[in-house]
Structure 1
Amino acid sequence: MVAHILQLKLRLLGNGFKRSTGQLVAVIIGGLYALGMVVLLSGASWATAEQNPFPGQLTIIIGSAVVLGWAVIPPLLTGVDLTLEPARFVHFGIDTKVLAPALVLAGFISVPAVLTFLGLLGASMMWRLDPAVLALALVSAVATAIMAVLVCQYLTIMATALRSKRRFRELTFALLFLLLVSLGPLLSSVFAAAESIADWINPISAVLAYTPLGAFAALPGALATGNMAQLALCAVLGVVYLVGLYLLLVRATGAATVAPPAQQRAATARGLGFFKLLPATPTGAVAARSLTYWFKDPRYALSILMVPMLPLIFWFAGRQSGEYTMMFALGPLIGILMGFAISADVSYDNTAFALHVLTGVSGKADRAGRVMACFAIGIIPLLLAATLPAILSDQLWRLPSDLGLSLAAFLVSLGVSSVVSARYTYAVPLPGENPMKTPPGNGLRVALTQMGTMGFMAVLLIPVIIPAVISWTTQSQVAGFIALGIGLLLGVGMLIGGVHLGGKWFDRRQSELMQAVMINR
């Protein structure tokens, strides 16, 4: 039975590369890139073995980061391959003593697991000057990789039931996204506060060495320094952690194959919501439904969460360099990002797009309703981002140009997105799925479409950028008001034109759009 399940996992892994030629090419390119990074890490570890002043601490940091990454990113953020999750075997009556080891071993049959093993083995080359320590480092690298995969499997099983609860998914996504976005600025502040690398690497590694994250990774350093007490203690702790984790995993696997899957309760609607506030017209109905998505669909949360995070990131960057010029780019950047968000609206609709087709909503009403919803969400953050940097820095002469470029970016982005979303659709996470999940398939097409759309927006903004740059370089309010006037005229014109042209394309391509949405599921 164990061999049969392992063969099944290998077959599933192989079949995953046969879905499409584009996906196969993307996987090969991604695998070669990851393999190149592994080779680069191994080469750096080998080359710096003689000059590395912190080999023991660095090994602990790397091992702990790998285990923590496997514990957080696959189960909670991006999702993992749940083809062989324990709950799928509930109808087969397989003994847990057989099924659990088989599923544990199957978890190691994946490209990320292989790359993790190779990466940790390559990082162990920093101990190449001492053969005995190198041998122990290789063993501890394998043990650390096993710990990482087991942690991922256990947390995935435990999180599967919780992920069926919508509020848990939304809260998890929001917290993890904010953590990942703010991680860089927080770490840079910590490193800047330390006078030397030893001020932070020594205390951090000393704590991690006795945790499940870095217990095995601490063994080579303890042997190299002759600290046999730490070597014995970390070895015992590592074995205890690993055995305890395996037992917990077996228990969780058995529970998942016995307990029925969690049932989701249907959402209950209270009142008419935005439909009560907006006009009873096709445009108003589309706008109300879009506003409901913006507030309740976690897939739209990425655009909303980036609005408060961008000022924080730019402020941290300015604090490190002493130059806060980047803050003046907040308005145009938020305008482009918010406006570009509706370019995936049709894809996000999924099967609900049939409502637009069956009810005969005109393309103009559809485009205008989606624009109204995004405009209502984004206009206040945009105005704050466009005006506050100039006001707080006492450079009021910048207000007209900053406001003109920001409004132009937002309106032009809305107009272009209204056209693009009527012509191109691409695979997005399905309703209820993890918002950060990357659907397989047309990754190259998505990237090219997004790059082309962004580039086209930048070209359209050139008439506003030129007087805005003149205003910034000469501190001329006259040039700033020219930028404001051109920005409003260009933005409004592009928005009206985009809604009109996008509406025509929408009317002609409703059946093709519906077919594309169904294929992208």
Structure 2
Amino acid sequence: MVAHILGLKLRLLRNGFKRSVGQLIGVVIGGLYVLGMIVMLALACWFTAEQNPFPGQLSILIGSVAVLGWAVVPPLLTGVDLTLEPSRFVHFGIDPKVLGPALVLAGFISVPALLTILGLLGSAGMWRLQPGVMLLALAANLATAVMAVLLCQYLTIMATALRAKRRFRELTFGLLFLLLVSLGPLLSSVISAAETMSDWIDPISAVLAYTPLGAFNALPGALAAGDFARLGICAVLGAVYLGGLYVLLVRATGAATAAPAPQQRAATARGLGFFKLLPATPVGAVAARALTYWFKDPRYAISILMVPMLPIIFWFAGNQSGSYTMMYFLGPLFGILLGFSISADVSYDNTAFALHVLTGISGAADRAGRAAACFLVGIIPLLLAAVLPAVLSDQLWRLPGDLGLSLAAFLVALGVSSVASARYTYAVALPGENPMKTPPGNGLRMALTQLGTMGTMAVLLIPVAVPFGIGLATQSATLGFLALGIGLVLGLGLLAGGIVLGGKWYEQRAPELFQAVLLNR
């Protein structure tokens, strides 16, 4: 049975590459890129072994990052391969004592698992000057890779039932997204506060050495330093962590095959929500529906979460470099990102797009309603981002130009996105799925569509960017007012043109759009 399940996983992996030529090319290119990075890091560890002052601490940090990455990214952010999910075997009556170990072993048959093992083994080259320690490092890194994959499998099974609850998924995604976005600035601040590298790498690695993240990778450093007490403690802790995790995983797998996770229940609605607040017109109805998505669909959460996070990131970056210039471009950046977010509105609708097709709503009303919803969500953050930097820095002369470029970026982005979403669709995460999930075989089309949309926005903003740039260089408020005037006229004109043109394309292609979103499932 174990051999049969492992063979099944190999066939599923092989057949996955046959699904699409584009997907196969993307996987090959991505795999070669990651493999090249692994080779470069392995060579760096090998050839810098003589100059490396922190091999023991660095080994612990590498292992901890690998385990933590597997514990966070696949189960909670990008999703994992669920072709052999334990609940799929609930009807076959297979003995959990046999099925559990088989599914555990099947978890290692994947491209990410193989690349992780190769990367960790390659990092053992930092111990090449001590062959005995290097052999121990190879075994320790292999055990760390096993720990990472087992932890990923266990957390995935345990989170399955919780992921059936929409609020849990939204809260988890929001917290993890904020944590990952702020992780870079936080680490940068900690490192810059330390006078030497040992001030931060020593205490962090000392703590991680006794946790499941770095227990095994602490062994080579302890042996090289002759600290046999620490060597024994970390070896025992690593064995206990790994053995206990394996037992928990087998039990969780058996429990999942006996009692599948509860099905997701539909959310209950109370009142009319935004439909009560907006006019009872076609444009108002579309805007109310779109606003409901903005506040309840986690796939739109990325655009909203970036609003408070970008100022924090730019402030940290300015604090490190001593220049806060990027803070003045928050307004235009908000405008581009928020306006661009509706370029995939039809794709996000999925089968719900049938409401628009069957009711015969005009294309202009559909485009205007979606743009109006995004405008209502983004206008206040946009104005604050455009005004506050100039006011707080007492550079009021640049206020008109900042407002002009920000408003122009937002309006132009809404106009271009209104056209793009009526003409091009691509596969996105389905409703209820992980917002960070990227459907297979669609990367090239998505990249080209997004690149073309962004490039068009940049070209159309040139008439505003020129007076803004000259006014910024000469500190001229007059040119700033010129940029504001041009930005409002150009932005409103392109938004109106985008709604009209996008509406015509929508009316001509509504059945094709509906067919496209069905194929993108």
After TM superposition, the score normalised by the length of structure 1 is: 0.99
Local SS of the residue matching 1:422: helix
In structure 1, the residue matched to 2:106 is: 106
Q: Using the alignment, how far apart are the partners of 2:427 and 2:263 within structure 1? A: 27
Q: Does structure 2 conserve the Cα–Cα contact (< 8 Å) formed by 1:427 and 1:441? A: no
Deviations 1:456-515 (A, max 9, x none): 111100000011011111111110000000000000000000000000000000011011
Q: Distance in 2 between matches of 1:264 and 1:454?
A: 37
Per-residue displacement from partner, 1:267-296 (whole Å, max 9, x unpaired)?
111111111111111111100000000000
Is residue 484 of structure 2 the alignment partner of residue 491 of structure 1? no
Q: How many residues align?
A: 521
Partner of 1:132: 132
Corresponding residue number in structure 1 for 2:455: 455
Looking at structure 2, the residues matched to 160 and 38 of structure 1 have their Cα atoms a distance apart, in angstroms, of: 32
C-alpha distance after superposition, 1:66-103 (max 9, x if no partner) = 00110111111111001101111010110011001100
Matches within 5 A, 1:86-485: 86-485=86-485
Following TM superposition, the consecutive aligned residue runs of length 4 or more in structure 1 with deviations greater than 4 angstroms are: none
1:259 Cα deviation (Å)?
1.3
Query: How far apart in 1 are the matches of 2:134 and 2:122?
Result: 11
Give the superposition deviation at 1:260. 3.3
SS at match of 2:214: coil
Structure 1 CA distance, aligned partners of 2:265 and 2:113? 36
Aligned position for 2:28: 28
| Equivalent pair of 2:141/2:216 in contact (CA under 8 Å) | yes
**SS in structure 2 of the partner of residue 200 of structure 1:** helix
Task: Quote the Cα distance in structure 2 between the aligned partners of 1:442 and 1:73.
Answer: 21
The CA deviation at 1:258 is 1.0
**Residue aligning to 1:50:** 50
One-letter amino acid matched to 2:313 = I
Residue 445 of structure 1 aligns to which amino acid in structure 2? R
Partner amino acid for 1:115? L
What secondary structure does 1:276 align onto?
Answer: helix
Residues 411-451 of structure 1: CA deviation (Å, up to 9, x unaligned): 00000000000000001000000001111112011111111
C-alpha contact (below 8 Å) 1:340/1:417 kept by paired residues: yes
Offset from partner CA, 1:146-172 (integer Å, 9 cap, x none): 000000000000001111110010001
Superposition deviation, residue 265 in structure 1:
2.4
Q: C-alpha distance in 2, partners of 1:44/1:490?
A: 52
Post-superposition Cα deviations, 1:335-379, rounded to whole Å, max 9, x if no partner, equal 000000000000000000001000101100000000010000000
Ranges in structure 2 where 5+ consecutive residues have no aligned partner: none
Secondary structure at 2:187 match in 1: helix
Equivalent pairs: percent with the same residue?
Answer: 79
Residue identity opposite 1:209 in structure 2: A
SS at match of 2:267: coil
Question: Counterpart of 1:434 in 2: which secondary structure?
Answer: coil
Structure 1 portions without partners, runs of 5+: none
Q: CA deviation at 1:452?
A: 1.2
Cα distance in 1 for residues equivalent to 2:439 and 2:337:
21
Is the contact made by 2:335 and 2:406 (CA closer than 8 Å) also made in structure 1? yes
Partner of 1:516: 516
Deviation for aligned residue 1:254: 1.0
Counterpart of 1:239 in 2: which secondary structure?
Answer: helix
Q: Which amino acid aligns with 1:454?
A: M
TM-score normalised by length of structure 2: 0.99
> Match of 1:159, as an amino acid?
A
Structure 1: how far apart are the matches of 2:440 and 2:335? 29
Q: Which amino acid aligns with 1:514?
A: F
Q: Does the 8 Å CA contact 1:365/1:503 hold for their aligned counterparts?
A: yes
